[in-house]
Amino acid sequence: MATLKYSRQRESIKNYLLHTEEHPTADTVYMHVREEFPNISLGTVYRNLNLLAETGDALKIPTPSGGDRFDGKTTPHYHFICTCCGKVMDLDMESIDHINEIAGKNFAGQIESHTTMFYGKCEDCILKS
């Protein structure tokens, strides 16, 4: 990949991701960064989010029913997505690296444990039902 040059827009996006817990969509990032850069385009947001994901400065989290989410917290941790309301949450739990031994009996691939995605119902949705 070509050498990265500094850009104020990218810095702002990176900074926003570091200070939010909501795992925003590209569009949400766009809305926020536009407060500082009113002329920024959605294309630029996408380009930078992908760059940050490549350099490891952000995580790109695919979700069912469209719209990737982004996370500025890059230390290994697990994610949970509520299939009811779509909310993406961090799971603060111990590593499940041993999953490779469990799966390994019939599987010769290598699971990258901390990219595992969990689905279910979040607390709010359980209470509402």
Binding residues for Zn(2+): 82, 85, 122, 125
Q: Work out what residue 109 binds among DNA, its own copies, none; the CB cut-off runs from 5 to 8 Å by kind.
A: its own copies
78, 93 contact by CB (below 8 A)? yes
What is the DSSP secondary structure assignment for residue 61, as one 8-state letter?
A: E
x/- track of binding to its own copies for residues 59-78 (CB under 8 A): -x-xxxx--x---------x
Tokens at residue 14, please?
């990176």
H or E segment and range at residue 8: helix 8-18
- The annotation places the binding site for Fe cation at 114
Q: Which of 20, 32, 57, 68 binds DNA (CB under 7 A)?
A: 68
Q: Work out what residue 57 binds among DNA, its own copies, none; the CB cut-off runs from 5 to 8 Å by kind.
A: none
89, 99 contact by CB (below 8 A)? no
**CA distance linking residue 122 with residue 110, whole number of Å:** 29
Q: Name residues contacting DNA, limited to 5-34 (CB under 7 A).
A: 5-10, 25-27
x/- track of binding to its own copies for residues 12-51 (CB under 8 A): ----------------------------------------
Q: How many residues would you count in the chain?
A: 129
In sequence order, which residues have a C-beta less than 8 Å from that of residue 92 and are 6 or more positions away? 77
Tokens at residue 55, please?
């350099």
Judged by the rule CB under 8 A, the positions of this chain that interact with its own copies are 60, 62-65, 68, 78, 80, 82-83, 89, 91-94, 96, 99, 102-103, 105-112, 115-123, 125-126
